[in-house]
């Protein structure tokens, strides 16, 4: 299971870095969208294939459930970023960034649950 832990740890590090950037720096919307798409690509290429490597059926089912939810959250994150791009007022942009931060927190919590 060490390969699985390694990949989820790498994903968690990427998510935490993006969360930190979103909450502490001025965010460029096109760059943010690119970073989210890179996260999605990492997830699809590095994380999704891991379920088939797990030989324990209960762990496989658990991982599959988390992967399904994480995949959904990553798609919703991309939509949140698109809404952020379309924000015209500062208050709207702030609320969109808050939603992005919340979504990233959820994804980090899923990684933590898998790594336990």
The per-residue pLDDT for 58 is 62
- What letter does residue 109 receive in the DSSP assignment? H
Going from N- to C-terminal start, the domains of the chain cover 2-115
Q: What is the pTM of this model?
A: 0.90
Residue 83's Cβ-count burial label (10 Å; 0-12, 13-18, 19+) is middle
At the fourth CATH level, the homologous superfamily of domain 2-115 is Nucleotidyltransferases  domain 2 (1.20.120.330)
pLDDT of 110 over the 80 cut: yes
10-65 pLDDT, tens digit each: 999 999 999 999 999 888 999 999 999 999 999 999 998 876 654 455 666 788 89
DSSP SS3 for 101:
helix
């Amino acid at each position: 299971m060490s390969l699985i832990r390694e990949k989820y740890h790498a994903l968690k590090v990427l998510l935490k870095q993006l969360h930190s950037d979103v909450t502490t720096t001025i965010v460029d919307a096109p760059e943010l969208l690119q970073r989210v798409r890179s996260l999605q690509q990492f997830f699809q290429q590095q994380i999704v294939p891991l379920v088939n490597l797990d030989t324990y059926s209960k762990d496989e089912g658990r991982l599959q459930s988390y992967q399904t939810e994480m995949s959904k959250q990553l798609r919703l994150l991309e939509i949140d970023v698109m809404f952020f791009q379309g924000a015209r007022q500062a208050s709207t942009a702030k609320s969109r960034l808050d939603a992005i931060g919340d979504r990233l927190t959820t994804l980090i919590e899923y990684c933590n649950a898998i790594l336990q």
